[in-house]
Amino acid sequence: MKKFFAFAATLCCAATAVAQDPPSPSVSPEPAEETMVPTYETQKRARAYTLAIPAPRGQIVDRNGVPLAQNKLSYNLALTFPTPLEFSDAQAVSYARERIRAAEKLLGRSVNVADALILRHYQNRGILPLEIAQNLTDAQVDQIKNKLPEALILRPIYMRVYPQGRLAGHILGYTGRTGRNPDGVIDNHEVLWPDTEGREGLEQTFNTMLSGQRGEYRLTFDQDGRKTSERIVTPPMPGYTVVTTLDVKLQELAEKTLEAKAKRGAIVITDPNTGDILAMASWPTFNPNSFIPSISTAEFKRLQDDPNIPLLPRAFRSSYPPGSVFKVAVGLAAFESGGITGYDQFQCVPAYQVGNLTFRNWKKVDTGSLNFIEALTQSCNTWFYQVGIKMGAAPIIDWSQQLGLGSKVGIPLRGEVDGRIPDDNYMKAQFGRRLLNGDIANLSIGQGNTEVTPLQMAQAMATIGNGGTVYQSRLVQQVQTLDNEIVSAFQVRVKRTLNISSQTLDHLRTALVRVVSARTGTAHQANLGRIQLAGKTGTAQWGPKNKERTAAWFVGFVPALQPQYAFAALFEGAAGADVHGGSHAAPMIGTIFKEVYKEYLKKDSTPLRALPVDDDPLDDELDDGEYQEDRSG
């Protein structure tokens, strides 16, 4: 890689040659700086110009070193004018036109360069090449490189490229030029061609570290205006490499699953034992290569006008009502605040009256008296209304916030949203009143004004899965040089430890396993067989009634004991669509982890250490082969 950068830098400097047979560039100590006031006439006198060589950007790679963003050598076709610059305006245009016609024959296409541009370049910067065709394809370069007539040269430049295409586009972002090619009078220390800068994603956040250090290139001319030498005074230093926590295989699996099963949605997969983000996919997405070197007006308008908003990273820049996945936080709060015990039972009735309001369950029949494990397995709304109102809003707000819900996770990407856990201050600011029992009923099933991001839900489930440790979510492991020397490291960091009792954790884990594996559970389509997966479905509505949309969720961790992965999957349903967490989000997670564990699942071996899944008292309501879809709020 270092040889490539050195070679490319030499090529780029050599390509600025203006004489017919220029001397080869060489690296040498910088002589004393000359004072120069740049004008048209300075091009005709003995002068030395020191120009900046843009540095190649550093790479962005996944956790295993697979490149996600890197550079390639691209070529522009340029023409050079002889020195000294003694052409009249007509002669300069005629000279350029003759070479442009030759270029058109070589390329087999028209090359449009206005006379005014030719004259402006000749008068202001005629000692440097004039680019007439940019970003030639590899085939075009191969076709013309050995056929170039006098005064036409291939000028190499660095071009950003995203070798995995659209993969992780929302995370990587893209780059753009800092300006157009200069056409004014040459100024000492100006850049040979425009730098690139990060405009979105990690490219933007780590722009300074990725940018590298410019080199210096010197041109000297004698008193007659003839070029006498050119040399690299200081080679450019490439930018640092940003090593992410992403796993390309998991990221690709998440994106392909979304593409196949969701028109809009997001999937986040983390390591619950470190906080590392292994995959963070939003759909639809875009290809960052479309922005290189610049995106066309038509293509950008197409992306902006697309009703599915492909430029929106839904995983962290959109928040949604969590619906029944929030019941995990409610159960945690109820146990830890002393509001309930594992033995307490509440009736799962079809409807529950709160003041003059009727709050309904998604099941239309009374399913009897249930404890927490049974209620979460069936996702009984009316059970959670009663428990929520019994313990009050404060424990729910406190424990959901301790899990990280309703506040930014803190990843190094612009635009992460907070979400919301409504409290009295919010209600007073928005509605002029405190939280009432009806609000608490909505809060208890993740509806009302509650909003979270898929990334927050993955972090919360990681915390439950690992036993109560909230890790700082990590998207970047370190920044390093080409020689793998660490410049900046982002260590695994514990934000806080929640003192959750072992009994509470047992209740939560057992209930989450039964959601997937018990006959009355709502997430059978995520069942992995011998590998026990713990999860919770959710279905939530938001928006005005005539345009009401549905967020279908499935969140959890796998394996249920000693988990390796935590996850959150969101299926964003269109207005009026009949979608549910069990039927739309859970199958996406099932698809992903069947692929992740396929080698293990092929083996004839005993199951991983697992929790028992007993039949519950309501199993006789279901005939063999039936399962419940989560239609709860």
| pLDDT exceeds 50 at position 618 | no
Q: What confidence score (pLDDT) does residue 631 get?
A: 57
**pLDDT band at residue 605 under the 50/70/90 scheme:** low
Which H/E stretch holds residue 393? helix 393-402
Q: What confidence score (pLDDT) does residue 600 get?
A: 87
Q: Among residues 514, 565, 185, 502, which one has the least CA distance to residue 370?
A: 514
| pLDDT exceeds 50 at position 199 | yes
pLDDT digits (tens, 9 = 90+) for 117-157: 999 999 999 999 999 998 898 999 999 999 999 999 999 98
Q: What confidence score (pLDDT) does residue 6 get?
A: 42
Strands (E) across 147-276 are located at 152-161, 174-177, 196-200, 215-221, 227-234, 241-244, 265-270
Q: What confidence score (pLDDT) does residue 607 get?
A: 61
| pLDDT exceeds 60 at position 163 | yes
Residue 374 in any domain: the answer is yes
**DSSP letter (8 states) at residue 489:** E
Residues 144, 257 share a domain? no
**pLDDT band at residue 576 under the 50/70/90 scheme:** confident
| pLDDT exceeds 50 at position 592 | yes
| pLDDT exceeds 70 at position 628 | no
Residue 629 in any domain: the answer is no
Other CB atoms within a 10 A radius of the CB of residue 540 amount to: 25
Q: What confidence score (pLDDT) does residue 614 get?
A: 57
Residue 505 in any domain: the answer is yes
Q: What confidence score (pLDDT) does residue 45 get?
A: 59
pLDDT digits (tens, 9 = 90+) for 531-557: 999 999 999 998 887 788 999 999 999
Q: What confidence score (pLDDT) does residue 606 get?
A: 61
Q: What count of residues does the chain have?
A: 633
pLDDT digits (tens, 9 = 90+) for 319-332: 999 999 999 999 99
Residues 215, 324 share a domain? no
Domain of 368?
Answer: 248-621
Q: What confidence score (pLDDT) does residue 548 get?
A: 86
Q: Among residues 268, 300, 293, which one has the least CA distance to residue 281?
A: 268
pLDDT digits (tens, 9 = 90+) for 463-513: 999 999 999 999 999 999 999 999 999 999 999 999 999 999 999 999 999
Check residue 374 and give left, alpha or beta (phi > 0: left; psi -120 to 50: alpha). Answer: alpha
Q: Provide the token pair at 328.
A: 């995990």
Check residue 543 and give left, alpha or beta (phi > 0: left; psi -120 to 50: alpha). Answer: left
Residue 175 in any domain: the answer is yes
pTM of the model: 0.88
Residues 253, 208 share a domain? no
Residue 236 in any domain: the answer is yes
Q: What confidence score (pLDDT) does residue 624 get?
A: 30
Q: 240 pairs with which residues across the strands?
A: none
Range in 18-27, 369-378, 543-552, 560-569 with the lowest mean pLDDT: 18-27
φ/ψ (deg, to 5) at 369: -90, 125
Q: Which amino acid is at 241?
A: T
The domain that holds 67 is classified in CATH as: 3.90.1310.10
Mean pLDDT of 8-37: 40
Residues 171, 42 share a domain? yes
Residues 254, 166 share a domain? no
Q: What confidence score (pLDDT) does residue 9 get?
A: 43
Q: Provide the token pair at 281.
A: 């996919």
Residue 626 in any domain: the answer is no
Q: What confidence score (pLDDT) does residue 225 get?
A: 84
**pLDDT band at residue 621 under the 50/70/90 scheme:** very low
Q: What confidence score (pLDDT) does residue 237 get?
A: 94
Is residue 354 within 8 A of residue 441, CB to CB? The reply is yes
Range in 199-208, 214-223, 277-286 with the lowest mean pLDDT: 214-223
Q: What confidence score (pLDDT) does residue 608 get?
A: 62
**pLDDT band at residue 345 under the 50/70/90 scheme:** very high
Residues 470, 392 share a domain? yes
Residues 275, 358 share a domain? yes
**pLDDT band at residue 46 under the 50/70/90 scheme:** low
Residue 631 in any domain: the answer is no
| pLDDT exceeds 70 at position 375 | yes
Give 291's contacts (C-beta < 8 A, 6+ positions apart).
Answer: 174, 175, 176, 199
Residues 267, 235 share a domain? no
Q: Is 615 exposed, middle or buried (0-12, 13-18, 19+ CB in 10 A)?
A: exposed
Q: Provide the token pair at 57.
A: 């950007």
**What is 582-605 written as a DSSP string?**
IIIIHHHHHHHHHHHTHHHHHS--
Answer positive or negative: Cα dihedral of 15, 20, 26, 29. Answer: negative
Choose the final residue of a domain: 227, 244, 261.
244
| pLDDT exceeds 60 at position 8 | no
Query: Considering the chain, what is the average pLDDT of its residues?
Result: 89
Residues 462, 368 share a domain? yes
Cα–Cα distance measured from residue 424 to residue 228, given in angstroms and rounded to the nearest whole number: 77
Q: Where is pLDDT greater, at 460 or 17? A: 460
Residues 406, 423 share a domain? yes
Residue 633 in any domain: the answer is no
Choose the final residue of a domain: 198, 229, 244.
244
Q: Where is pLDDT greater, at 334 or 179? A: 334
Which H/E stretch holds residue 145? none
Q: What confidence score (pLDDT) does residue 227 get?
A: 86
Give 63's contacts (C-beta < 8 A, 6+ positions apart).
Answer: 243, 244, 245, 246, 247, 276, 278, 477
Residues 270, 208 share a domain? no
The total number of structural domains in the chain stands at: 2
Range in 216-220, 237-241, 400-404 with the lowest mean pLDDT: 216-220
Residues 180, 97 share a domain? yes
SS3 state at 10: helix
Choose the final residue of a domain: 188, 220, 244.
244
The domain that holds 542 is classified in CATH as: 3.40.710.10
**DSSP letter (8 states) at residue 19:** S
pLDDT digits (tens, 9 = 90+) for 81-98: 998 999 999 999 999 999
